[in-house]
């Protein structure tokens, strides 16, 4: 004969009779329910302690942990899981989960990056006031550009501005000119005593070539 330690009942037969009494004993069920509540409270206290420890490690005030606008608030993935309710018998449940190779865990949250500073957009386009005439790159314009007073290489490289113009004429345009032809232009044309600038005011090479062709045509009719 055995006795129940929960309700104090005596005269219980060992074996199935005692097991049947334990399943029906209200005092034992209340004790088991109180024990389960204590386990749940202990698990909740442990979870709160873990949250407080995480907040202290991250320097986050406890009142900001539930703030949805705070990016440093404890995320659901970082919060400890809530304990499972116990079985009716009072025994705690085991938390079952699949093997690690079958888990689909989300990646870690990206770090907070400050947005880049966007420079101010210019109020006007730099090429808005440009015209086609400004982009002209003919031979005469390139020579004039080289001879501008703002170009310091003219006064330091050549002995005079006429010599600079000659060298510009020689190097710009066709590459069929030779140094001997440039020397001949200076000696045989520009340095002659009968050179007069007025004779060259309206000079056009095409017109002078036409006059030469016309003269050659008349001479060929005479048997030349």
Smallest CA-to-CA distance from 82 within 47, 107, 111 is with 47
Confidence of residue 86 (pLDDT cuts 50, 70, 90): confident
Confidence of residue 219 (pLDDT cuts 50, 70, 90): low
Determine what percent of the chain is predicted with pLDDT higher than 70. 58
Q: Are 154 and 161 in contact (CB under 8 A)?
A: yes
Checking if the pLDDT of 182 tops 60, the result is yes
H/E stretch holding 157 reads helix 153-157
Say which residue, 11 or 220, is predicted with more confidence: 11
CA distance 57 to 51: 10
What is the rounded average pLDDT for all residues in the chain? 70
Checking if the pLDDT of 162 tops 80, the result is no
Task: Return the pLDDT at 199.
Answer: 80
Enumerate the domain spans of the chain.
Answer: 16-92, 135-221
Say which residue, 136 or 164, is predicted with more confidence: 164
Checking if the pLDDT of 179 tops 80, the result is yes
CA distance 85 to 37: 9
> Burial level of 72, CB count in 10 A (0-12/13-18/19+)?
middle
Highest mean pLDDT among 29-33, 137-141, 219-223: 29-33
Task: Return the pLDDT at 77.
Answer: 47
108 alpha carbon, distance to own chain's centre: 22
Confidence of residue 25 (pLDDT cuts 50, 70, 90): confident
Checking if the pLDDT of 126 tops 50, the result is yes
CA distance 40 to 32: 12
At 112, phi and psi to the nearest 5?
Answer: -80, 125
Task: Return the pLDDT at 170.
Answer: 77
Q: What is the CB neighbour count within 10 angstroms for residue 202?
A: 7
Question: pLDDT tens-digit profile of 27-54?
Answer: 777 777 777 777 677 777 777 777 677 6
The 3-class SS string of 91-131 reads: CCCCCCCCCHHHCCCCCCCCCCCCCCCCCCCCCCCCCCCCC
Question: pLDDT tens-digit profile of 47-77?
Answer: 777 767 766 666 655 555 555 555 444 454 4
């Amino acid at each position: 004969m055995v006795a129940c330690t929960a309700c104090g009942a005596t005269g219980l037969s060992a074996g199935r009779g005692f097991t049947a009494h334990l399943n029906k004993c209200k005092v034992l069920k209340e004790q088991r329910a109180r024990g389960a509540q204590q386990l749940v409270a202990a698990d909740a206290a442990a979870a709160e302690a873990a949250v407080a420890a995480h907040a202290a490690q991250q320097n986050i005030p406890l009142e900001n942990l539930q703030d949805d606008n705070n990016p440093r608030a404890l995320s659901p993935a970082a919060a400890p899981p809530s304990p499972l309710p116990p079985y009716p018998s009072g025994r705690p449940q085991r938390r079952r989960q699949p093997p690690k190779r079958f888990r689909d865990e989300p990646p870690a949250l990206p770090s907070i990056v400050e947005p880049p500073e966007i420079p101010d957009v210019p109020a006007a386009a730099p090429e808005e006031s440009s015209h086609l005439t400004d982009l002209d790159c003919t031979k005469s314009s390139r020579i004039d550009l080289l001879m501008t007073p703002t170009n310091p290489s003219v006064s330091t490289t050549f002995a005079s501005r006429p010599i600079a113009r000659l060298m510009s004429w020689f190097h710009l345009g066709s590459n069929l000119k030779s140094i001997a032809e440039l020397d001949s232009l200076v000696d045989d044309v520009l340095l002659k005593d009968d050179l007069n600038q007025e004779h060259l005011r309206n000079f056009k090479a095409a017109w002078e070539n036409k006059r030469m062709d016309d003269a050659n045509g008349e001479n060929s009719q005479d048997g030349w």
